[in-house]
Amino acid sequence: EQRVSTYCNYENKNQEMKELVNSYNQSEWTKNLYNTWLWMLEPVLKEKPEGYPNWMRSLIWKNKDLITALASWAELRHDTILYVKQSYTRAVAIGKSAAPMEAKYYGYVEPNPELFARAEFITEFLIKGLKEQDCMTEDVKNSLEQSRDMMARLREISEKELEGKALSDDDYNYIENIDSTFNKIIEDLASALTVKEGGCSGPDCEVKTSLEGKDDAFKTTIIADVHTETNTKKALEVGTGKIDWIIVAHKSKDGRIGLAVGPIFSYYEFPWPMKDRLTDEKWREMLNSEQPERSEWLKLLP
């Protein structure tokens, strides 16, 4: 396995990059969509202060957050930049009582309001940019505004959770139906971006109506080569694999303990022969046949 020490001049270059990133101010971070996406991920990596759930302040959760940020960066390098995917968990509330109790299922948002606020900002940033470049259509505008509003709603819900406020029935219904909400946004956006071929209206006319890209928006299995080492004839591949699952114990306001179960990203990075650069299709075949080894440092997450 390729180790850090084998990379030429790694320590110096790593330090240079740290200094460069630390020198960025707000205008530098938000000068383009790529930088703004990375800026959006900063709250994921921030130390969570008191007031956040204990599991969000644990070492295991820090490792999970690092993998989430890296997976999102891999998606960005893969140029999937029209879709803002935020994690949420659906929790199983388990009551402790001597009497039989019907199981109840509640939605629960991972409370990171700053992340959702920045996701809201980046969506508005995209809306403004497309308008300024005269590239906006009404359909695209509606889809992006729905995405922005979804981030705003999740921010409000996560703020309530951190403040210990009870969520309303409307909040729970919104979380429960967030998959259909997100699916509609993607379908509407894919429909708006699909080029319809033909243009005639007769019975023999074929009009392309398939929603190109819709299915890809829900696939986490992507790969991208981000660096080429000509000396070793290797490319550095980064990608996301199949979804992992995480379970956390969460104490609700009434003192009951529930188990929150939700999906999390997986992340891979490895050198690969530059003459055989991986495509998404090849990568998915690898994942389905032989599960690739994850880097040693990624194995810190049980």
Question: Is residue 252 over pLDDT 60?
Answer: yes
Which residues, including other chains, have CB under 8 Å from residue 56's CB and lie 6 or more apart? 48, 110, 111
Give the pLDDT band (50/70/90) at residue 213.
Answer: low
Per-residue model confidence (pLDDT) at position 219: 78
What does the pLDDT look like over 70-96, one tens digit per residue?
999 998 888 643 333 322 233 333 333
Average pLDDT score, the chain: 80
Rounded mean pLDDT, 181-191:
85
Number of neighbouring beta carbons within 10 Å of residue 126: 21
Per-residue model confidence (pLDDT) at position 155: 97
Question: pTM of the predicted model, to two decimals?
Answer: 0.79
Per-residue model confidence (pLDDT) at position 249: 81
Question: Is residue 115 over pLDDT 90?
Answer: yes
- 286 or 228: which leads in pLDDT: 286
Rounded mean pLDDT, 108-132:
94
- 287 or 209: which leads in pLDDT: 287
Give the pLDDT band (50/70/90) at residue 14.
Answer: confident
Give the pLDDT band (50/70/90) at residue 99.
Answer: very low
Rounded mean pLDDT, 186-190:
83
Question: Is residue 212 over pLDDT 70?
Answer: no
Q: What angle do CA 209, 143, 147 make, to 5 degrees?
A: 135
- 28 or 296: which leads in pLDDT: 28
Number of neighbouring beta carbons within 10 Å of residue 109: 29
